[in-house]
Chains A and B, each alone.
Chain A
Amino acid sequence: MSYIMEIMPLMMQGLRTTIWVFVFTGLLSIPLGMIICTLRLSKSKILQGTMQLYILIVRGTPLLLQLIFVFFGLVYVGIVLDRGTAVLIAFTLNYAAYFAEIFRGGVMSISEGQYEASKVLGLSKRDTYFGVILPQVFKRVLPPVGNELITLVKDTSLVYVLGLGDVIRAAKTLSNTQASLMPIVVAGVIYLVLIAIVTYLLRRTEIKYNYYR
């Protein structure tokens, strides 16, 4: 126990990085995903094509590689970013693509009848989208969005590649210097607790939306 207390300060420092990457990526990539989804579903062939290409590139290459590209690669075109900014940009752009596809699935699952009823009632496109379609999409996309958020908690460990210290990096350092596996086990428990909290919050949100079917 005293050993665990001893390694905790360093682990907690790592945890701070894990949490801010998770929270800010979540806050930025979900709205960006909605915007990308809207553009992807727009009537303009150019916008559709651009978004498709963007999604293909992001989903077709590893996040690790994207992190390296944003931080080291952009230097060659004169864009120098600090590590934290590079991490947030790469994570946000990556997760937004996945969220956009989840939202697109949600929007497409709403029956044509909902649009037609809105039209016959004289609702504007804006009122139809924000008042009729989106609230129903939210309910439907909650499970897959939850999946992505849980994956995001674990993906934050990739920041080590840019030299940021997260939970895993702290654990590995401690494990190496003290020749013990214990820090790795503690890191595992920390992730499990984080994900349990996220799962609980998602479940609460789902229950909130359970008032209709």
Chain B
Amino acid sequence: MLKVENLSKSFGDKKVLENINFEVNKGDIAIITGPSGVGKTTLIRCLSSLEKYDSGKIEISERREEKQYPVGLVFQGFNLFPHLSALENITFPLIKVKKHSKEKAEKQAKELLASLGLEGLEESYEYQLSGGQKQRVAIARALALNPEYLCFDEPTSALDSELREDVGEMLRGIAKKGTGVIVITHDKIFAEKYATKLYELGEQLELRNS
């Protein structure tokens, strides 16, 4: 379980998050909606250790393995490495962080890309991929490291409306395999359709339904 207790974060004098509490289990799709500027992105940046928080706790229990970053993040702009092919985007962290051999990393990366419908695009570079394909490479890169929880920053914002359904199904697939999914979005229709836990972030983070 990922448990957030009384999390607060300010930038200078500006309080962005105040006493945030919530829980996500593995297999959940927790979707947090809310208007722009309310701190949604800051919240998942705290979860994925990109941002330090001022007070409160983030606890992760029942971990599969001890590691430094148990929470992955798929960025809104994906942040793929442009000088590496789709395959290398996935193998590079596997080789450097997980210390896999090149062969093992490539085998795993190819399987992951295939499972996300990206066969034949292994050697493509970022500029050769469409928005949806970039997103899948970014998802594959994050999943390769076997995170306990995976955060998504506005996963539907760069996509055509037909592809939103694909993203939703992909999230379900990821959750089904036992990874906790945490999504922030302003897309309420998407949120209501796919969330197993729906939160709204305003002054406070409120659970809408579960």
Q: How far is the CB of A126 from chain B (nearest CB, A)?
A: 9
Query: Does A122 contact B50, Cβ atoms closer than 8 Å?
Result: no
Verify if B83 is at the interface (C-beta below 8 Å from A): yes
Bound form: Cα–Cα A47–B198 in Å: 50
> For the side of the interface on A, what is the size category?
20 to 34
Q: How far is the CB of B144 from chain A (nearest CB, A)?
A: 9
Query: Does A122 contact B125, Cβ atoms closer than 8 Å?
Result: no
Task: Give per-residue flags for A99-127: 1 if the beta carbon is below 8 A from chain B beta carbons, else 0.
Answer: 00000000000010110110111111001
Which residues, 52 to 95 on B, are CB-close (under 8 Å) to A? 67-69, 72-73, 75, 77, 79-83, 92-93
- Which 4 residue pairs across A and B have the least CB separation, nearest first? A117-B79, A113-B79, A121-B93, A213-B127
Bound form: Cα–Cα A117–B84 in Å: 13
Chain B positions within 8 Å of A, measured between CB atoms, are 48-50, 67-69, 72-73, 75, 77, 79-83, 92-93, 96-97, 125-127, 141-142, 145
- CB contacts between A and B, total, < 8 Å: 59
Query: Does B93 contact A123, Cβ atoms closer than 8 Å?
Result: yes
Chain A positions within 8 Å of B, measured between CB atoms, are 111, 113-114, 116-117, 119-124, 127, 131-132, 135-136, 139, 211-213
Interface of B: prevailing SS:
loop
Bound form: Cα–Cα A132–B68 in Å: 20
Query: Does B79 contact A114, Cβ atoms closer than 8 Å?
Result: yes
Q: A122-B67, A123-B97 are in contact. Are A132 and B81 (CB under 8 A)?
A: yes
Please give, as numbers and ranges, the residues of chain A lying within 8 Å of B50 by CB-CB distance: 116, 119-120
Please give, as numbers and ranges, the residues of chain B lying within 8 Å of A122 by CB-CB distance: 67-69, 93, 97, 145
Query: Does B49 contact A119, Cβ atoms closer than 8 Å?
Result: yes
Q: How far is the CB of A127 from chain B (nearest CB, A)?
A: 5
Q: How far is the CB of B180 from chain A (nearest CB, A)?
A: 16
Q: A120-B69, A122-B67 are in contact. Are A139 and B83 (CB under 8 A)?
A: yes
Bound form: Cα–Cα A116–B51 in Å: 10
Query: Does B81 contact A117, Cβ atoms closer than 8 Å?
Result: yes
Please give, as numbers and ranges, the residues of chain A lying within 8 Å of B96 by CB-CB distance: 123-124, 127, 131
